[in-house]
């Protein structure tokens, strides 16, 4: 009914820490042992104090319990000289539903590569004796650069690796895709991405590319999805993934998801599967506050292109101000009916940390999207009407959970 009750217990530690410079991650909340319940770990190495805490706290209906024998093999977060850097990944690499671990880090000062993979057994981690083909993070002093990605690219449910980087500073690029193998955690080079996901310019890494299943075949497709504000150039060409490479789709995205201005990459667009039918929707979802204009049009995706849906999002998710672009809302299924709802999630922080002018309203999607089937007519003039009900209604009976090796191949692009 939209209400909340006090659980009677707390998290073992914070997920975020507010510093004088910014907000940093100081913990992870995810299902670590594969029982479907969220667990917690600080996952922190504090170089300043010489202390580490990699303990896993298993979650249950009664709260969280520390498991001294269940430790992460290393950190996800690394504190150096008061700065907290990302330096480790905890995600399913072999498709068994359990998140595996790697530091996935190279230390620029020494060239040391810390890439070893540890398999999650559900009660601990064991070394596989194998390594990632390259780093996800490069640490230079107290600066962290994202220099690679780990995700399923060819649609087989196994995590793959790509540097996915074009370095404008030295004119070099590395777009190779290394396909992951199971159960031995090895990788082999197979093909290249059509373009970068990560763009190094003036020593900074800019997001400039998306990998998301546009045509609903379970394989990630690629687009730069970028607008260069300095020239107005839009890089929207779409390439469909085949499982062993990419082919030109013959059509473009309706608009960008990234806007690059003054060496900063801003998110200005949504490209995701909003109603769980396997195809993708796009909206710029942006308001330009200074000019009073906005672009909230929703475009329906298919294997042959995008068409305007004939309706808009209720509000903008991204607001463009003179100081930059700011996200002020989320689109997520709030009431469990399978449709994406809108949630305002913005406040103004005053001196002393007081929050004012909060906008926290929830707008529920009114019904099925307009591209769902409503009538089927056969060759004998017979007609069948189709109606829809949310998954939360009592006409459905929930099935048991899907077990490995069956896998859900779809997934949302997280802006």
Q: 21-30, 141-150, 368-377 — which one is most confidently predicted on average?
A: 141-150
Q: Rounded CA gap, 183 and 129, in Å?
A: 12
Tokens of 157: 């449910």
Q: Chain-centre distance of CA 380, in angstroms?
A: 47
d(CA 218, CA 215): 8
| Residues 209/155, Cβ–Cβ less than 8 Å | no
Strand 165-167 versus strand 172-174 pairing type: antiparallel
27 to 56, 100, 233: CA distances (angstroms): 11, 17, 39
Non-local CB neighbours of 85 within 8 Å, separated by 6+ positions = 77, 78, 79, 137, 139, 142, 143, 144
Per-residue DSSP letter, 353: G
pLDDT band at 402 (very low <50, low <70, confident <90, very high): very low
Q: Domain ranges in the chain?
A: 263-415
**Has residue 355 got a pLDDT over 50?**
yes
SS3 351: helix
CA distances 403 to 36, 154, 346, Å, are 12, 21, 39
Please give the full DSSP string across 1-23, using - where no structure is assigned. -------S---SS-SEEE-SS-E
Q: Per-residue pLDDT for 396 more than 90?
A: no
Contact 195, 179 (CB under 8 A): no
Nearest Cα neighbor of 305 from 325, 273, 335, 280 is: 280
For the segment 132-137, the average pLDDT, to the nearest whole number, is: 98
Residue 249 pLDDT > 70: yes
**Burial call 237-263: b when 16+ CB within 10 Å, e when fewer:** bbbbbebeebeebebebbbbbbbbeee
Binned at pLDDT 50, 70 and 90, residue 391 comes out as: low
Q: Is the pLDDT of residue 340 over 80?
A: no
Asked if 43 contacts 70 with a C-beta cutoff of 8 angstroms, the reply is: no
Instruction: Give which of 283, 221, 231, 253 is closest to 410, Cα–Cα.
Output: 221
Cβ-in-10-Å burial (0-12, 13-18, 19+) of 399 comes to exposed
Q: Which pLDDT belongs to residue 371?
A: 56
Kindly indicate the confidence band of residue 327, based on its pLDDT and cuts at 50, 70 and 90. Answer: confident
146 CB neighbour count, 10 Å cutoff: 18
Mean pLDDT of 360-375: 70
Cα 158 off chain centre by: 16
Contact 11, 40 (CB under 8 A): yes
From the list 414, 355, 365, the residue with the least C-alpha distance to 390 is 365
User: Is the confidence at residue 40, as pLDDT, over 70?
Assistant: yes
- Largest Cα separation within the chain, whole Å, is 78
Q: What DSSP designation does 352 have?
A: G
Distance between CA 391 and CA 19 in Å, rounded? 42
- Residue 193 CA to residue 158 CA, distance in Å, equals 17
**How far apart are alpha carbons 116 and 123 in whole angstroms?**
19
Q: How far is CA 115 from CA 33, 102, 137, 148, 165, in A?
A: 22, 6, 10, 12, 18
113-117, 275-279, 359-363, range with the lowest pLDDT? 275-279
Residue 404 pLDDT class (50, 70, 90 cuts): very low
Q: Which of 18-22, 169-173, 403-407 has the lowest mean pLDDT?
A: 403-407
């Amino acid at each position: 009914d939209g209400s909340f009750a006090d659980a009677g217990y707390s998290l073992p530690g914070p997920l975020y820490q507010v510093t004088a410079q910014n907000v940093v991650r100081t913990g992870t909340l995810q299902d670590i042992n594969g029982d479907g319940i969220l667990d917690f770990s600080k996952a922190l190495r504090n170089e300043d104090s010489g202390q580490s805490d990699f303990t896993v706290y298993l979650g249950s209906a009664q709260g969280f319990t520390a498991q001294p024998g269940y430790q992460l093999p290393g950190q996800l977060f690394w504190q150096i000289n008061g700065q907290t850097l990302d330096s480790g990944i905890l995600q399913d690499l072999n498709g068994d539903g359990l998140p595996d671990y790697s530091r996935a880090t190279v230390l620029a000062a020494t060239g040391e590569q810390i890439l070893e993979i540890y398999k999650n057994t559900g009660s601990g981690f064991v070394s596989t004796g194998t390594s990632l083909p390259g780093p996800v993070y490069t640490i230079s002093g107290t600066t962290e650069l994202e220099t690679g990605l780990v995700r399923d690219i060819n649609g087989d449910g196994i995590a793959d690796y790509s540097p996915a980087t074009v370095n404008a500073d030295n004119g070099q690029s590395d777009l190779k895709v290394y396909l992951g193998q199971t159960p031995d955690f090895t990788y082999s080079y197979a093909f290249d991405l059509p373009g970068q996901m990560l763009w190094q310019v003036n020593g900074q890494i800019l997001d400039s590319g998306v990998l998301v299943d546009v045509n609903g075949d379970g394989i990630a497709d690629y687009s730069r999805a970028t607008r260069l504000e300095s020239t107005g150039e839009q890089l929207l060409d779409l390439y469909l993934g085949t499982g062993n490479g990419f082919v030109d789709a013959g059509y473009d995205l309706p608009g960008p998801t990234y806007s690059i201005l003054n060496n900063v990459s801003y998110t200005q667009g949504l490209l995701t599967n909003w109603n769980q039918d396997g195809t993708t929707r796009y909206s710029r979802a942006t308001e330009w506050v200074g000019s009073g204009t906005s672009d909230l049009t929703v475009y329906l995706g298919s294997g042959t292109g995008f068409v305007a849906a004939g309706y808009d999002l209720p509000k903008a998710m991204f607001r463009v101000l003179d100081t930059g672009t700011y996200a002020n809302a989320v689109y997520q299924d709030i009431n469990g009916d399978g449709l994406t709802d809108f949630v305002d999630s913005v406040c103004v922080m005053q001196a002393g940390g007081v929050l004012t002018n909060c906008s926290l309203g929830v707008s529920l999607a009114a019904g099925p999207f307009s591209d769902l089937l409503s009538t089927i007519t056969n060759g004998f003039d017979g007609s069948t009407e189709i109606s829809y009900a949310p998954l939360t209604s009592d006409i459905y009976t929930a099935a048991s959970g899907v077990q490995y090796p069956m896998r859900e191949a779809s997934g949302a692009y997280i802006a």
